[in-house]
Structure 1
Amino acid sequence: MRIFGVVGWKNAGKTGLMERLVTDITGRGFTVSTVKHAHHSFDVDHPGKDSHRHRIAGATEVLLASRHRFALMHEMRGADELPLSELLEKLSPVDLVLVEGYKRDAHPKVEAHRAETGNPLIAPDDPTIRAVASDSTVDVSVPVFDLDDTAAIADFILAQVGL
């Protein structure tokens, strides 16, 4: 499975870049799935709904399905967080998986960077970062793209993964 990541500090533009990349790359006829790492507890379910009641009752997994989509919710119940490699195994085959976060994993990545955040670049100390997408001029040894030049970033990613 071909994977490529988007990393960066908080408010660097990762999610917007991910959204634009998915739109661009699927618009070229490729299939894309995404994985998003959250550093906090989250919930996609709603209190009072049947699926939520099943989880609260103790179900390890609840699969909610309709003719439009399905969602599988898996409660960790104290188990360790799954590594990215195991999560990727749960996805159906696609041309490309874009991963937001997981900056410490070994897959290739582009770093999103906004100067206004004042955060340092990750790229100089991380050989897995193959390019930087920034809203300012940065001095790094990898290709640099304008953060808003989605087509050029998509071209780069597709070339990197062989699509």
Structure 2
Amino acid sequence: MQHALVPILGFAAYSGVGKTTLLSQIIPLLKQNGLRIGLIKHGHHNFDVDVPGKDSYRLRQAGASPVLIVSKQRRAIITEIVPEQEPRLDEQLKFLDQSELDLVLIEGFKSESFPKIELHRAGLDHPLLYVNDTNIIAIACDGILDIPASLVQLDINQPKQVAAFIVDRFMRQKSC
């Protein structure tokens, strides 16, 4: 990834496995370990972060793009993608200010090449992704899998274990 200025780590899984749930549990744990975390989430559906009826929404609907909304608490930039096209992760990294970050977590973009943790739940009967993705460095699952020794197996139901793996892997790289 040409535009990754800090380490990036993805969470790859089929829909419904629990990517957002696990990320929402491990982000506070990573922050407790001193990591400054950014996140990029790939959405597969049309979404709108702006509220119909608000001035910024009306101005964007009138044709302004990008629209920067800012207050003393937060900032959001809304940019229309024209023509519509599937986003590429490296292109999106250009828009993320990484200067104050230690790690960027990625939800989705599972078909792109960057380090990932695969999430797997045996009861959902999805095929394992690592078989076709050499970028997977670990699998967080809810059972015991017969996987190559080169992959680390984590417990998807133990967010502290997943966070410890990330801190060990990425803080060690940072200090080397």
Q: Which sections of structure 1, spanning at least 5 residues, go unmatched? A: none
Match 1:2 to one of 3, 7, 10: 7
| Distance (whole Å) between structure 1 residues aligned to residue 80 and residue 86 of structure 2 | 11
| Distance (whole Å) between structure 2 residues aligned to residue 90 and residue 32 of structure 1 | 15
Structure 1: 4+ residue segments shifted above 3 A? 79-82
How big is each residue's C-alpha offset from its partner over 1:57-88, in whole Å with a ceiling of 9 and x where there is no partner? 01111111110001000011325344211211
Alignment match, 1:115: 122
Judge conservation of contact 1:123–1:140 (CA < 8 Å) in 2: no
1:149 deviation in Å? 1.7
The residue identity in structure 1 corresponding to 2:40 is V
Alignment match, 1:98: 105
- Give the paired residue count: 163
Aligned pair 1:159/2:168, yes or no? Answer: yes
Alignment match, 1:25: 30
TM-score by length of 1: 0.93
Judge conservation of contact 1:124–1:140 (CA < 8 Å) in 2: no
TM-score by length of 2: 0.87
SS where residue 160 of structure 1 aligns? Answer: helix
RMSD over aligned CA atoms reads: 1.4
Judge conservation of contact 1:17–1:150 (CA < 8 Å) in 2: yes
| Distance (whole Å) between structure 2 residues aligned to residue 77 and residue 57 of structure 1 | 15
Alignment match, 1:12: 17
How big is each residue's C-alpha offset from its partner over 1:97-153, in whole Å with a ceiling of 9 and x where there is no partner? 000001111110001111222111111221101110011222211111110222221
1:160 deviation in Å? 2.9
Match 2:140 to one of 106, 113, 133: 133
How big is each residue's C-alpha offset from its partner over 1:8-37, in whole Å with a ceiling of 9 and x where there is no partner? 001111111111121110111110010000
Q: Which moved more, 1:67-76 or 1:134-143?
A: 134-143
Aligned pair 1:47/2:52, yes or no? Answer: yes
The residue identity in structure 1 corresponding to 2:83 is G
The residue identity in structure 1 corresponding to 2:132 is D
SS where residue 43 of structure 1 aligns? Answer: coil
Percent identity over the alignment is 37
Aligned pair 1:146/2:155, yes or no? Answer: yes
Aligned pair 1:86/2:95, yes or no? Answer: no
1:40 deviation in Å? 1.1
| Distance (whole Å) between structure 2 residues aligned to residue 160 and residue 86 of structure 1 | 25
SS where residue 77 of structure 2 aligns? Answer: strand
